Structure 1
Amino acid sequence: MIQIAVFSDVHGNLPALEVVLKDIEERGIRQRFCLGDLVDFAPWGNEVIEKIRSLNIPCLMGNHDERIAFDIPVVPLSKHSEEETHARFIAIDHSKKHITEENKKFLSELPFHLKLNYKVEKKHWDIQLVHSSLSSNDTYLYESENDEVFKTMLKESRSDIMVMGHTHLSFKKQFENKTWAINCGSVGRSKEENRLASYLVLTLDEEKITPEIVQLPYPIDETIQQIRESGIPDYYVSFLKNEKVSIL
């Protein structure tokens, strides 16, 4: 048996990341992977990057990481309210000003996706890790997506399982050929009702893969206080408190 942990979308929320990493350690899981979006919306962008670097956790380039690394202009998105659009511009600008040049360089060198192969006795398991899809790190694929979309991605990558993040909403879908499409949710900016820090544990046996979505409480009041003191808009405080804001 082999266990691996996969997490995504920390978004500068160091208290949430520390709780997830502690839980992974307590489970004795040594194989850890991050699907990207280390920055934006909470004030510990540098600290999150440095934590990932210091622990040598393989990490993908999320769309927010790419924007900060290469100073890509922010454009309004039609799905966002006027309030969220205004807050988003300010929050991303905060990251652009505060992430160090060394950390921006680290973000710029992250891989786009990663293919893993684990051998358990006589069985090889192929696991494809993406931020959002094979071709883009900014595609929104929800549980309601047509199954054929996921099946095509699995076929293209020749994988038994594909793990993604980006939407901040976890799900597990198994198909008739025993392949899986899984979203591990978000560590630091969950869009689920409970707002808990979410990550995925995969248990690999010779006969099967068993996925478990783990959701954990973290000191959210600490994150809220630091957002308020940082210059990041209070919109993101309301979001974490699950007050009435647009969360698309």
Structure 2
Amino acid sequence: MRIALFSDIHANLPALEAFFKDVETRDTDAIYCLGDLVGYNVWPNQVIDLVRKRGIATIAGNHDLKVAKIYPSEDVCSTEKSSDYAYKLVGEKEREYLLTLPRHLDVEFRLNTDSLNMLLVHGSPRSINEYLLEELPPDYVTEMVKEFKADILCFGHSHKPYHRIINSGEDGDDYFHHLINTGSVGKPKDGDARACYVMLTIDPMASTKSPDGVQVKFIRVKYDVEKAARAVELSLLPDAFADNLRKAC
């Protein structure tokens, strides 16, 4: 089973188009989106449309839920730059779609005599706004994956990709969990401006007793960063958003 995971597009249409062009060349069985389709750029409706047309199972990100409080208004034509402008661009039908997205998805794999539970969230199982950073203490992470019965925990939010394996077994009885941050398609923050997504491969012999049956590959895709940055600068969004795209920070 080969699963493509992506998140944090943030209304960056050129990056999303490049991602789809790349992933469609690969042997993929399923695609999941881990949220944050909007914010920071000027193409929220086009991004939502592309994801919906492909029927991709998608969960809500924290920026997606901001549309519940920020509506189009008379000052959408203002000349004053504001980060809220990104949400005021979201159309009514697109707003309804974002606000009905699930907060998480559970996928169970039954393999041989074992089973693997994959949990897809945006921030963490505990909060859509929590950052699961790579340097979190092992005890904290172990408690979380055991609490939510997540053998494979997939998330985004921090825009910094990593794969971490935790062994929660006791008394010599191994039990491995995989934590996978998908990075960001539309707003990387790890110094690499290319779009980032994950190809997750689950082997037919995968088991919680061994870390080897789950493979994680981070794929980087070039896109027209300057086009996305210039779109920000020509809009009512803060120019700093454009600089962050160029610097991937």
TM-score (norm 2): 0.86
* 2:65 alignment counterpart: 66
Cα 1:214/1:156, change in 2 over 3 Å: same
The one of 94, 119, 142 equivalent to 1:128 is: 119
Mind listing any 5+ residue stretches in structure 2 that lack a counterpart?
A: 72-80, 168-174, 207-212
Distance in 2 between residues matched to 1:144 and 1:165, nearest whole Å: 15
**Comparing both structures, which one devotes a greater share of its residues to helix?**
1
Partner-residue secondary structure (3-state), 1:167: coil
Number of equivalent positions:
226
Distance in 2 between residues matched to 1:173 and 1:151, nearest whole Å: 11
Instruction: Map residues 33-182 of structure 1 onto 2, 5 A cutoff.
Output: 33-68=32-67, 70-71=68-69, 90-91=82-83, 93-120=84-111, 123-176=114-167, 177-182=175-180
1:30-89: CA deviation from partner (whole Å, max 9, x where unpaired): 300011000011111110111111111111111100011x1169xxxxxxxxxxxxxxx8
CA contact (8 A) 1:66 1:72 kept: no
Partner-residue secondary structure (3-state), 1:17: helix
CA apart distance, 1:153: 2.0
1:75-105: CA deviation from partner (whole Å, max 9, x where unpaired): xxxxxxxxxxxxxx812x2123210011000
CA contact (8 A) 1:115 1:127 kept: yes
Q: Which has the larger radius of gyration?
A: 2
Distance in 2 between residues matched to 1:225 and 1:102, nearest whole Å: 27
CA contact (8 A) 2:36 2:61 kept: yes
Q: Report the aligned-residue RMSD.
A: 1.8
Mind listing any 5+ residue stretches in structure 1 that lack a counterpart?
A: 74-88
Partner-residue secondary structure (3-state), 2:38: coil
* 1:23 alignment counterpart: 22
Identity of aligned residues (%): 33
Distance in 1 between residues matched to 2:100 and 2:240, nearest whole Å: 31
